[in-house]
C-alpha cells in the first residue's frame, strides 16, 4: 500500500526539483556574474547549507498538505485512522529524504562542476577550497612572528600562502547531525501543523501564528540570557516538539471524517 501511495504522489517530486533546482540556478547565476564582472580572488560555496534547509522547508510545507489531503482522502476511502496516519507519515518521510538527497546532489554539483567554472570566469588558473577567505598578516597559533602577505585557512585548519592565480573558495558546510535534524523537523513539523489545521480549520492558522510569535513576546518578558543558553533551550525545544508530535498523533487518530 505504501508503494501505491508514493506512486500516486510522484508528481510532488517535481516540486522539490523546481524549488531546489531554481534556488541552485539563481545562486549560480549570481555567483557567475560576480566572478565574470568583478574578477575577485575569493568566492563562497554555500550549497551544503542552503539546499538542505530549502529542501527541509519544502518538505515541511508538503507534509502539511499531505495531512489535509492524503490523510482525509484515505479516511473517506475506508482506511482506518491508524493506517491512514502510517501512510501519511511514510509519504512525508519519503519526500523529506528525497529533498535532502537532492540537496546533497546539488551540493556535489556545485563542488565539482560549478567551482571550476567560477575559477574560469574569474580568470584564474585553478581553485582551492578553504575554511576562510584571503587574509593579510595573519599569525598562526604557536608562532611569534606573523606570516606576511596573503594567506588563507585550508580545510585542515592550517594557515598557508595563497597560490598564484588560484580562486580561494570558502566552504560552508553542515555537520551530519544537522541533516538528520532537518529531516526530523520537516516530517514532525509538517504533521504538527497539518494536524492543527485538520482539527481547528482556519483557527489553526491563528494558533500557528501565535506559536511563531510567542518567542518574540517571551524575549521581551524574560531575560535574554535565558534564550541564549543552549543547555536550557535545546531540551525545551525537543520537549515542545515531542509534545506537539504526540498531540498530533492523538488528534489524527481521533479525527472526524468530513463528508
Calculate helix-pair angle for 81-109, 230-253, nearest 10 degrees: 140
Whole-number Å distance between alpha carbons of 115 and 168 = 10
Q: Is the dihedral of CA 162, 165, 170, 175 positive or negative?
A: negative
Per the prediction, the chain carries an average pLDDT of 83
Residue 139 confidence (pLDDT): 55
In a domain, 139, yes or no: no
**95-110: pLDDT as tens digits:** 999 999 999 999 999 9
pLDDT band at 10 (very low <50, low <70, confident <90, very high): confident
In a domain, 152, yes or no: no
- pTM comes to 0.83
8-17, 158-167, 191-200: the lowest-pLDDT one: 158-167
In a domain, 175, yes or no: yes
In a domain, 135, yes or no: no
Whole-number Å distance between alpha carbons of 219 and 226 = 9
In a domain, 171, yes or no: yes
pLDDT band at 133 (very low <50, low <70, confident <90, very high): low
**55-79: pLDDT as tens digits:** 999 999 999 988 888 888 888 888 8
Pair 98, 13: CB distance under 8 Å: yes
**Once rounded to an integer, what is the mean pLDDT over residues 178-188?**
93
- Number of compact structural domains in the chain: 1
In a domain, 220, yes or no: yes
43-57, 120-134, 137-151: the lowest-pLDDT one: 137-151
In a domain, 96, yes or no: yes
pLDDT band at 216 (very low <50, low <70, confident <90, very high): confident
Measured CA distances, 205 to 136, 192, 198, 211, 214 (Å) = 52, 12, 10, 10, 14
In a domain, 9, yes or no: yes
% pLDDT > 70, the chain: 84
CB atoms within 10 A of CB 50: 20
Calculate helix-pair angle for 12-38, 47-66, nearest 10 degrees: 150
Residue 141 confidence (pLDDT): 57
Residue 182 confidence (pLDDT): 94
Domain with 176 in it: 2-125+165-253
Amino acid at each position: 500500500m505504501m508503494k501505491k501511495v508514493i506512486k500516486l504522489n510522484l508528481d510532488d517530486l517535481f516540486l522539490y526539483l523546481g524549488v531546489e533546482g531554481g534556488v541552485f540556478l539563481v545562486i549560480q547565476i549570481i555567483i557567475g556574474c560576480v566572478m565574470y564582472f568583478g574578477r575577485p580572488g575569493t568566492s563562497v560555496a554555500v550549497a551544503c547549507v542552503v539546499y538542505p534547509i530549502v529542501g527541509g522547508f519544502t518538505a515541511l510545507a508538503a507534509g502539511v498538505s499531505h495531512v489535509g489531503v492524503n490523510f482525509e482522502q484515505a479516511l473517506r476511502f475506508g482506511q482506518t485512522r491508524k493506517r491512514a496516519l502510517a501512510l501519511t507519515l511514510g509519504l512525508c518521510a519519503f519526500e523529506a529524504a528525497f529533498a535532502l538527497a537532492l540537496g546533497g546532489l546539488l551540493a556535489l554539483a556545485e563542488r565539482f562542476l560549478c567551482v571550476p567554472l567560477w575559477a574560469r570566469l574569474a580568470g584564474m588558473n585553478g581553485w582551492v577550497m578553504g575554511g576562510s577567505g584571503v587574509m593579510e598578516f595573519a599569525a598562526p597559533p604557536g608562532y611569534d612572528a606573523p606570516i606576511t602577505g596573503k594567506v588563507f585557512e585550508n580545510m585542515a585548519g592550517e594557515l598557508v600562502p595563497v597560490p598564484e592565480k588560484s580562486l580561494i573558495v570558502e566552504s560552508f558546510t553542515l555537520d551530519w547531525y544537522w541533516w538528520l535534524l532537518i529531516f526530523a523537523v520537516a516530517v514532525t513539523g509538517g504533521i504538527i501543523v497539518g494536524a492543527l489545521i485538520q482539527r481547528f480549520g482556519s483557527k489553526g492558522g491563528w494558533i500557528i501564528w501565535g506559536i511563531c510569535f510567542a518567542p518574540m513576546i517571551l524575549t521581551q518578558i524574560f531575560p535574554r540570557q535565558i534564550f541564549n543558553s543552549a543547555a536550557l533551550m535545546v531540551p525545551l525545544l525537543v520537549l515542545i516538539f515531542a509534545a506537539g508530535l504526540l498531540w498530533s498523533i492523538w488528534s489524527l487518530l481521533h479525527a472526524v471524517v468530513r463528508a
